[in-house]
Amino acid sequence: VVGGTSGSKQAVTVKKRRKTEGLGGGGPEQNLSINDSIIAIALPAFFALAADPIASLVDSAWIGRIGAVPLTASGLAIAVLNIVVRLFNTPLLSVTTSVIAKAYVSPKRDLSRAASIALELGALAGAAQTMLLFVGAPFLIHLMGVDSGTDGVLYSTAVSFLRIRALGAPAVVLLLTTQGIFRGLGDTRRPLYATLAGNILNVGLAPLFIFGLNVGADGAAWATVVCEYISALYLLYVVYDKIPGLQIGSTLFKDQKSFSGPAKKLLSTSGVLAFRSLCVVGTYAIASSWSLEAGEELSASHQVCHQLWTGSTLLADALAVAAQTLMAQSITREDKDAVLEIVKKVLGIGLMLGTTTAVLIQVSNGILPELFSSDESVLAGIDHLLPFVVLTQPITALAFVLDGVLYGGSDFNFAASCMFVSAASAVAVMTVGINYFAESDYDVLTSIWVGYTVLMSMRTMVILYRMQMKDAPFRKYLITEKPARG
């Protein structure tokens, strides 16, 4: 809980006054500075965000030992799953974080009710995703460009992999929902422990299932599903143990008021953020499609730089988690000093992170490209795009952090509108550049990455402008009052 003394120059502190055992250290009252609070939330969140991609790379390495077809098939299925997570599950995670952060410091002390509703909605969403993914697997793999007639083995392998992973959808949604609960409480350590434990177990189970049970790529899928349920059940157990009065199955449909109130708001807000995610996914998909105009080698260069670009934002994404949690708690407590201090701190740290990342990527310019490919054409394309990756780091980091500020202020509708405008502008720039100005394959890549630069620049500028607008829900907390003249 972020606290401070209005009008004083004393350090703003985060006071965890709740006696909920085991959360934020539990026991005696604990005071943390804003800097310490940001670090305490952001660092574990960063390692948790980084753990899944690393585990996926290890999985791919094991599957790659079987052959190219299983590796391609698993990649297609995982691409479908990532789209589902980005469109539906990540918005639920973001909204849950803000809802729980507010409930945690609210005088009404309705934390257990808020957590119950979030978990019940998560359970329903997970069950629905399992049904849709399992039944729709053949159609979804076909949409990815695989034909059952001409690529029968690849098609059947991808469908089987996707259906097995679909069985883990309830665990994935519950895992993200419980992570949102802990983020709202300011505790990102427990989700980190669950994520690390699940991924480490997965790294050990995958080869056992793949080679020991001789079930091929399906073995990797089964290993992942098992570990997802273990991680989700662990976090669910801890939530039950640490939040008194938490009950699943007795809140959402208890009466019409329960469903039309917090549940309806949570669903509607998740829908708004799902639209925002669709704008992001759509922009990246269009960029990937346009990159094929430059040929397979330069398209591969684009994919490598895109992965490097998005991977380098993990620290900024973790910082956004800290900004969202602390902002939501401070606004609920009407703590103006804390809100202003948090915004200043996270923006400063975000700019520093972006600049540092840019320097590190530039310094490793001679090493990074060769880690991804030995093809001269691909390497030439990476060299062409790397300046874009480097120069956009600071503005990209600020864009992510500012998203956290918007989420913390519950300005979700504007976040979606901002992303729509930014994405539309980026796609327009790509389209015009490629169709009217590109004279070579390298110009095609340049047009795409100018579009990426516009995407992040627009996000940053529009959100900064939003912070000056009178109707912004958190605007009053950012105005510094001038001392009265005597």
- Residue 357's pLDDT is what? 94
pLDDT given at position 78: 85
Compute CA distances 425 → 76, 198, 453, 455, whole Å: 29, 40, 10, 7
pLDDT tens for residues 245-296?
777 765 555 655 555 566 777 888 899 999 999 999 999 989 988 998 888 8
pLDDT tens readout for residues 440-482: 999 999 999 999 999 999 999 999 999 999 888 888 888 765 5
pLDDT digits (tens, 9 = 90+) for 113-156: 888 888 988 888 999 999 999 999 999 988 877 777 777 888 89
Confidence class for position 69, pLDDT limits 50, 70, 90: confident
Give the tens place of pLDDT for each residue, 364-405: 887 877 777 778 888 899 999 999 999 999 999 999 999 999
Q: What is the pLDDT of residue 231?
A: 92
In tens, the pLDDT along 72-86 reads 888 888 888 888 888
Q: What proportion of the chain, given as a percentage, has pLDDT over 70? A: 89
Q: How confident is the model at residue 4 (pLDDT cuts 50, 70, 90)?
A: very low
- Whole-model pTM: value is 0.84
